[in-house]
């Protein structure tokens, strides 16, 4: 059988860091550290599997409800990781992007994000899109606010107009959304863009997720039939 094309855009809800730490009697921070370190091998595996765009959910608009020390640990880890990974992205030809309500993050972190994006902006090989302080509902509200400010006649609003005002305006919708740690919910992730994504959940905790797990998810994706609302016999490509 001919090789099926890989999904173009994979989005991952990286969940289970705390459970991973608890299983090992380690402090929470170690779980988050291990979680952050799991991103690079998965991003590199995307290259090998032909996945061009990887979006990872790093921090939700609801995650501020966590204990302050946990939030602080996460923010520090993000800063360190961006600084460290930017050169890897330059070398791999990957554009690093960030999406979410970034203006609510510390000015130091925002500056690091800005610099990382600037250093990698010209890269066209692949995209690593990191969702930080991201909420799908907030994204839609922000899009509508932006249109209202621009004087768009909202009584004539169309889908394409909304899509063009989302944080992900110049990215295709994800084909495959993976959630680790066994939960079966979106937790406010890419609500608009997920409309026709295939959803895959694995019990593997995020720090343990690696290339073999990603390959397995892609394999399952390739065996799915995406109908987009049409009749099955009208669907020409599997996994598309």
Catalytic hit among 18, 47, 63, 117: 63
Site string for ligand IPE, 31-50 (x = CB under 6 A): ----x---------------
Q: Provide, rounded to whole angstroms, the least separation between the CB of residue 152 and Mg ion.
A: 37
Residues in the chain: 240
Closest CA to 188 of 22, 65, 70: 65
Q: Are 194 and 210 in contact (CB under 8 A)?
A: no
Closest CA to 97 of 170, 196, 149: 170
Q: Is 63 a catalytic residue?
A: yes
Q: Is 15 a catalytic residue?
A: yes
Q: Tell me which of 6, 13, 14, 15 binds Mg ion, using CB under 5 A.
A: 15
Site for ligand IPE in 101-160 (CB under 6 A): none
CA distances from 149 to 16, 143, 152, 158, 192 (A): 39, 10, 8, 17, 21
Binds 115, which of Mg ion, ligand IPE, none (CB < 5 to 8 A, cut-off by type)? none
Q: Are 109 and 78 in contact (CB under 8 A)?
A: yes
Region binding ligand IPE by CB under 6 A among candidate stretches 11-19, 91-99, 102-110, 137-145: 11-19
Nearest CB to ligand IPE, comparing residues 206 and 221: 206
Positions that interact with Mg ion (CB under 5 A): 15
Question: Which residues are known catalytic residues?
Answer: 15, 63
């Amino acid at each position: 059988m001919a090789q099926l094309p890989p999904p173009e855009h994979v989005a991952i809800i990286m969940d289970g860091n705390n459970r991973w730490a608890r299983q090992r009697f380690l402090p929470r921070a170690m779980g988050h550290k291990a979680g952050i370190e799991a991103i690079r091998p998965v991003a590199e595996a995307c290259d090998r599997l032909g996945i061009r765009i990887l979006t990872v959910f790093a921090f939700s608009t609801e995650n501020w409800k966590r204990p302050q020390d946990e939030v602080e640990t996460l923010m520090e880890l993000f800063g360190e990781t961006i600084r460290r990974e930017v050169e890897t992205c330059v070398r791999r030809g990957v554009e690093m992007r960030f999406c979410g309500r970034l203006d609510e993050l510390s000015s130091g972190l925002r500056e690091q994000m800005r610099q990382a994006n600037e250093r990698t902006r010209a890269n066209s090989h692949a995209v690593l899109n990191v969702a930080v302080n991201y909420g799908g509902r907030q994204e839609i509200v922000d899009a509508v606010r932006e249109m209202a400010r621009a004087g768009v006649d909202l009584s004539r609003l169309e889908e394409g107009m909304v899509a063009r005002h989302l944080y992900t305006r110049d990215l295709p919708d994800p084909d495959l959304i993976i959630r680790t740690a066994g939960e079966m919910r979106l937790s406010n992730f890419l609500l608009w863009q997920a409309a026709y994504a295939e959803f895959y959940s694995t019990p593997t905790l995020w720090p343990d997720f690696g290339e073999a797990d990603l390959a397995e998810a892609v394999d399952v994706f390739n065996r799915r039939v995406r109908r987009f609302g049409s009749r099955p016999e009208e669907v020409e490509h599997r996994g598309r």
